[in-house]
Amino acid sequence: MHVIFGSVDGLPRLSPQVLNQNSAGGLEVAESNDHFSATLAAGDFDNDADHDLAVGVPHENIGTRADAGGVNVLFGSANGLVGTGQFWSQVNTAFPSEGGAESGDTFGAALAAGDFNADGRKDLAIGVPGESVICRTNSQEPLCENAVGLNSMFRAGSVNVIYGSPTGLFTTAGPGVQLWHQDIAGMAGVAQEFNAFGSVLSAWNFGNGSQADLAITVPFEEVTNAAGTLVDSAGAVNVIYGSGGGLATPDNQIWDQESPGVPDSVESGDHFGKALY
């Protein structure tokens, strides 16, 4: 990964940096096919006036779990990205997940930074599109209705959110860490196998307050068309709104091409929302 620093005269201001997981101060070790820097998100996670950089490593192996995924966080300074950073995966202490780090989760396949609780520090949303979601009693998914015990919706997908603190992203500061997917009580949509919820993320203030909000792509969502027929892989986008306590379910929305006011109609393979800005 190359970092080129800006100045009043354009690029560069400082000498460019070339960073990988073997760089000084980094965490973890560079391995074949990790895909370090496949995704990036910049934000001031510790509110020290220097922007920090979250680096997705979606095909990081965690122990024997291939492609479980991880995220490196490199902290900014007057001299660029320096010092000991952070490494996050679904084996971090107190990290909520659906069964911990598992092969194929691809934690870090999407990243977005936004101040979801308006405390002046950026927070980090991490897409886990390969996550399998456990069926719960509130599930609307037909395959879960007759489930005995805990069955899983394979590759339904999820999103983790880590909140900023004075020392950077930290699991026990403020709201700590959240887990989002379509089988959480109050969430719009339906958790389905291979939905890949969390494939793409975008953080902006869409309204309802001063906090940032989070848009989440569900590119393989099945959507019911005007004739009442389920259309495979039509795609949808979930939106979760920020609050003083962080992202919360009230007023959350789901959008697709059958939503009121959205032009056109759903068709198989549309993958609505496959890209977000």
> What is the domain partition of the chain in residue ranges?
19-277
Q: Which of 3-17, 45-59, 64-78, 243-257 has the highest mean pLDDT?
A: 243-257
For the residues 233-237, what does the mean pLDDT come to? 94
Residue 183 tokens, joined: 């089988």
Q: Are 27 and 46 in contact (CB under 8 A)?
A: no
Q: Are 223 and 96 in contact (CB under 8 A)?
A: no
For the residues 76-80, what does the mean pLDDT come to? 81
Tell whether domain 19-277 is in CATH 2.30.30.60. no
Q: Which of 14-18, 104-108, 182-186 has the highest mean pLDDT?
A: 104-108
* Residue partners of 112: CB distance under 8 A and separation at least 6: 41, 124, 125, 201, 202, 203, 214
Give Cα separations from 121 to 34, 49, 96, 149 (angstroms). 29, 10, 21, 40
Per DSSP, the three-state class of 109 is coil
Specify whether the backbone of 8 is left (phi greater than 0), alpha (psi in -120 to 50) or beta: alpha
Q: Are 42 and 165 in contact (CB under 8 A)?
A: no
pLDDT value of position 94: 63
- Report the C-alpha gap between 138 and 130 in whole angstroms: 21
pLDDT value of position 93: 61
pLDDT value of position 148: 47
For 111, how many CA atoms within 13 A lie in the half-sphere containing its CB?
27
Is the peptide bond between 12 and the residue preceding it cis, with omega within 30 degrees of 0?
yes
Q: What is the CA radius of gyration of the chain?
A: 19
pLDDT value of position 131: 92
Largest CA distance in the chain: 64
Lowest mean pLDDT among 32-36, 81-85, 163-167, 189-193: 81-85
At which residue do the structure tokens 């202490």 appear? 93
Lowest mean pLDDT among 35-44, 47-56, 149-158, 180-189: 149-158
Model confidence at 150, in pLDDT bands (50, 70, 90)?
low
- What is the overall mean pLDDT for the chain? 85
Burial class (CB in 10 A: 0-12, 13-18, 19+), 226: exposed
